[in-house]
Each structure stands twice: as C-alpha cells, then as structure tokens.
Structure 1
Amino acid sequence: MTVQLIAMQLFSGLALGAILIMVALGLSIIFGMLGIVNFAHGALFMVGAYAGLYVAGLTGSFWWALVLAPVLIGLFGMLIERFLIRPLYGRSPDDPLLLTFGLGYVLVEAVRILFGTDGIPFSTPAALRGVVNLGIGFFPLYRLFVIGVVLAVLLLLWIGLEKTKFGLIVRAGSADPLIMRVLGVDISKLWLVVFGIGVGITALGGVLAAPMRNVSPEMGTLVLAEAFVVTVIGGMGSLAGAVIAGLVVGVAVSMTSLFAPEMATIVMFALMALILLVRPNGLYGRAAPGL
C-alpha cells in the first residue's frame, strides 16, 4: 500500500462523487422547488445514458450526445411534470411519490423492450482516452474530464440561481410560492422549467457515466439509492449539501473499495446513519417548523 495508490484512489473517489453530485443535484432541485421526491430519478439517469448512446450512434459524435441527450430528456421531464405530476399538486404527498415510483418501472421495462436486457458498451471518445501524469501517478483523462464538466455545471448553476432574475424567482418561489402567485408569477410554468432542468442535469450525469460502465436498464437502480443517500446526508433540497455529500460519499466508497471491498456498498449507508444521528436534517438541511 503506497501513498501514490491511496492518492489515486482518492481521485477515483472524486470522479465517482462527481457523478453522484449530478444525480443528487437533480433530486435536490426538484424536491427543493416542487417538494416532490422523484423515485423515477434513477430511471431518468438510465434513459439519459441510452439517449446519449442513441445520439452518439446517430451522429457519430460523443460531443453531440453530451449536448443533445440532456436537452431531449429534460424536455421529456417537462412532459412528465405537465401531464403526470401537475394534476397531483395539492393532493397527498404520497401520490406523486407513488406515481414516480411506478413511472420508474415503466421506463425500465420500456428500455428493455427497445434495447434488450444486455449491457451495451459506450466507447470513450478518442480525444479523452489515455492517462494523465498527475505527479503522484497516472489517472484516466476521461475521469478528469468528468470532474471538469461537473465543476462547470456547478458554476453555471450558481450563476443562474444567484446572479439572474430567473434564479431570484426560483429561490423566492421555493420559499413562498403563494406570495409569488400574488405578485403575478406563473408558478406552474416555473415548476415546469425547474423539473426539466433537474431531469436534464440527471440525464447529463447518465451520459457522463456511460463510458465508465456498460449502459443497461438496471444502471439507474444503484445510482438512485446512492443519490438518495447523498441527498439525505446533504439535507433534502440543499444544493450545497448535495455537492459536499456527493464528494464525501464518493471518496468514502472509493477508499473502502481499496481497504475492504466487501464493505464498499455498505459504507455509504453507515455514513448516512451516522450523519443523521448527529444532524437529523442532514449537513445543510433545515429543521421543520416547531423542531
């Protein structure tokens, strides 16, 4: 066990954490604004990977897949919000939860029918193959690219939410949608766009993850569990919490894989339990009124 090996495993954890951040961000955006726990999120991550595979096969370009697939699945997410979820607003919180839970199964079965049950390899683009010497060892260039894309998305999201009028409306609508309606803001359209953005970010995570694993109908199942762990640790609806928790979980899983591989899947759930014992609302979560 060398210092170089440990350092490289830490970088691998950052790459894994970057993917988890993308999925958890989508979950947090949707929950923070709409108050909906989207159980179809893992399936939409998987659909994003398949959309990237399809666009790459159609155009012969990974770069077109990286741009078009999230946009297409984001638009698909807007259709889901408009025609399936919107009629459930004002009803029991269990209704949209059960709807998205069932929708996830429908999407998985639809993909199995269209593409089969076997995993499909997604080739790493030629420009991103190979390794980079970081001084402490060699690290895959594609994983560095993934980390860079996630940082760029985080920057754009921060600018959009903190420095634009749309971001101001989103934050205000999340805090008090009734007041925004009184002020003349069409909250329904706002929720539509926010849901589409959340789904599009998740689909982008699916495209980025595809070259690191086979694209299969089941690829979203574990990712959904991991994303919920990250979201709960960070605090439901907290974007900053999703980022910090994603990195913590990614590094924890990666390092555990090095020292005790059989514990790699368990460690994130143990970490979640530990965090919740100390901070019941997560790292950046807000306590419910009266607590």
Structure 2
Amino acid sequence: MLTILGISGNALFGQLLIGLINGSFYAILSLGLAIIFGLLNIINFTHGAQYMMGAFLAWMLLNYLGLGYWWALLLAPIIVGIFGIILERLLISRLYHLDHLYGLLLTFGISLIVQGLFRNEYGVSGLPYAMPQELAGGQKLPFMYLPNYRGWVIAVSIVVCLATWLVIEKTKLGAYLRAATENPTLVQAFGINVPLLLTTTYGFGVALAAFAGVLAAPLYSVNPNMGADLIIVVFAVVVIGGMGSILGSILTGFALGLLEGLTKVFYPEASSTVIFVVMIIVLLVKPAGLFGRSV
C-alpha cells in the first residue's frame, strides 16, 4: 500500500477527495459572490441563505410534488433566481450608489430573516435527501474508491465555473456587463437596458448559490444553518482570490479546498482555520488578493 510521510495512500487521497468536494462548493459560491460584487458592487451576505434555499427547495420538490433530483437541479436555481430578482428590484437596486456597507447590512439582515423563517418551520435537526439512483455506487480506482455522486459534483462544478467564466470574459454579453459597471450612462446610450442587465446578473449569481445547494443536499443534511456555516469561509475565499475576480474565485476555491483536505491529513487541528491563516498572509502581501487589481 502506498504510504506518504507515514500516511496511507487511501487516507491521503480520501481527504483530498473531500477537500476537492469542499472546493467545488467554495468555487461555485465564491463565483456567485464575485459576479455580484464585481459587476454590481454589492457584498451579498444573503448568498448563504440562498444556497440553503436551493437545498430546501430540492427537498420540498421531492417531498411535496414528487419531483426528484434532476428536476430540482433545474427548477431550484430558477425559483431562487426569481426570488433574487425580486429582492434586487425592490431593495438592492436602491443601494448601488451608496457605500458597500449599506448593501452588506441589508443583505445580512435579509439572510437572518430567511434563516429564521426556515428554522421556525423545519427546526435545526436536518432533513435527509437521497442521492439519485443513477449516481449511486462508485468506481474502484488504483489509489482510492471514488463514489459516483462525489465525482459528479466535482465534474459539474468545474463545467459550470468554466462556462460562467467564458460567458463573462469572452462573449459580447460579458463585455456589456463589464461596460455597464464602468460607465452605465454610456452603455445605456447605445440602447442597452442597463437596469435589466444588472437585475439579471444578480439573479444569475443567486441561481448559482441555489444550484450549489441542490448539489449539496444529498451530501449533507438539509438544515437552515447550512448556509450560515459556509458563507464566512466563502467570503474568505473571495478575499484571497481578489474581490470581484471571476477566475480568481474559481481557482482559489478549488485550491483552498485541496489545502483544507491536506491539512486534515497532516495537522487536523488547523483544518478549520487554515483558510483564514492564508487570508491573513495574502492580505499582508497583496491586499487586493491573488488575482485582484489594486484600486
């Protein structure tokens, strides 16, 4: 059996797999945050609650309507995205020209309200959500056993992240989005509906959070606190990658997930703090983040 520094290969690769799974969620969630901040200049603290809403919607669709995982993967992001669009139109759009602190306080308050409503209705013990039968079982690899569902989560996360980056950085729509944040008056003069563009952008960022929530539902218990437990780590990932950097959020999310997995192998006591230690070091060396641009 392969042994590295006294650690069995199975244990090492098993923890790396867990780290890559965590990194997948860090990447998708931080990507949504980076889109909303980079294009709308809003620090969306509601992101964790919207991630939780995606998981709960998957559970509701299954238990109330009999719609399984694949329908939830399609419908939950759309429903939560519409919720985000309504939220943006009614409240968040009024804060675009104010200091970031106002958006942070508003979205933090909304997240507390949403979590409180779900906690009051469903409690905090957690609700089980079965993984789809099509992804049951696993593959025996030479160095580890890979459950099919975990492999699916990693693969679909990479595809979604790269597709989103390509749309924003390499298409005309992405160019319109970036231009609208730099000079909305000029862009509107060319006949582009800037408010609609910004609203759609916020809705898409929220939908990414809900999509991650559906992916997480079969792996973790569905409970109102699942977003609150994760959002602080995701904000740290965004800061390390560079606030508003799309590619930085993706790469940093996966990399820090792997680092967290390695830390659990060699120094488990530091696994819950290693990301924040990295954040401190990065802010000392490069305050704008690894991929961020200094203002």
TM-score calculated relative to the size of structure 2: 0.93
- For 2:135, the equivalent position in structure 1 comes to 128
Query: For 1:174 and 1:89, how far apart are their aligned partners in 2?
Result: 10
SS of 2:208 mapped into structure 1: helix
Query: For 1:60 and 1:42, how far apart are their aligned partners in 2?
Result: 24
Structure 1 residues 237 and 199: alpha-carbon distance in aligned structure 2, compared to 1, 3 A threshold: same
SS of 2:91 mapped into structure 1: helix
Query: For 2:157 and 2:27, how far apart are their aligned partners in 1?
Result: 8
1:183 Cα offset (Å): 2.7
What amino acid is the match of 1:55?
L
Is 1:56 the counterpart of 2:67? The answer is: no
1:265 Cα offset (Å): 0.9
User: Which shifted more, 251-260 or 220-229?
Assistant: 251-260
Structure 1 residues 2 and 117: alpha-carbon distance in aligned structure 2, compared to 1, 3 A threshold: closer
* Structure 2: tracts of 5 or more residues without a match: 1-6
- For 1:98, the equivalent position in structure 2 comes to 105
User: Does the CA contact (< 8 Å) of 1:56 and 1:64 recur in 2?
Assistant: no
* Structure 1: tracts of 5 or more residues without a match: none
**Paired residues for 1:207-286 under 5 Å:** 207-286=214-293
**Paired residues for 1:112-191 under 5 Å:** 112-191=119-198
- For 1:33, the equivalent position in structure 2 comes to 39
User: Does the CA contact (< 8 Å) of 2:28 and 2:157 recur in 1?
Assistant: yes
1:249 Cα offset (Å): 1.3
- For 1:15, the equivalent position in structure 2 comes to 21
User: Which shifted more, 256-265 or 246-255?
Assistant: 256-265
SS of 1:120 mapped into structure 2: coil
Query: For 1:108 and 1:201, how far apart are their aligned partners in 2?
Result: 18
Query: For 1:281 and 1:162, how far apart are their aligned partners in 2?
Result: 20
- For 2:30, the equivalent position in structure 1 comes to 24
Deviation per residue, 1:194-224 (Å, 9 max, x gap): 0000000011011111111111111111210
1:3 Cα offset (Å): 2.7
TM-score calculated relative to the size of structure 1: 0.94
What amino acid is the match of 2:220?
R
Aligned length: 288
Deviation per residue, 1:23-76 (Å, 9 max, x gap): 101100000000000111111111111011111222341110111101110111
SS of 1:46 mapped into structure 2: helix
1:67 to 63, 74, 98: 74
Query: For 1:159 and 1:249, how far apart are their aligned partners in 2?
Result: 22
Structure 1 residues 112 and 239: alpha-carbon distance in aligned structure 2, compared to 1, 3 A threshold: same
List 4+ stretches of structure 1 deviating above 4 A. none
1:114 Cα offset (Å): 2.5
1:163 Cα offset (Å): 4.5
Structure 1 residues 163 and 274: alpha-carbon distance in aligned structure 2, compared to 1, 3 A threshold: closer
Structure 1 residues 71 and 282: alpha-carbon distance in aligned structure 2, compared to 1, 3 A threshold: same
What amino acid is the match of 2:235?
F
1:177 Cα offset (Å): 2.5
Query: For 2:130 and 2:260, how far apart are their aligned partners in 1?
Result: 25
1:271 Cα offset (Å): 1.0
What amino acid is the match of 1:48?
G
User: Does the CA contact (< 8 Å) of 2:73 and 2:211 recur in 1?
Assistant: yes
Query: For 2:129 and 2:265, how far apart are their aligned partners in 1?
Result: 26
**Paired residues for 1:73-88 under 5 Å:** 73-88=80-95
Q: What is the root-mean-square deviation of aligned Cα atoms in Å?
A: 1.5
SS of 1:132 mapped into structure 2: strand
1:267 Cα offset (Å): 0.8
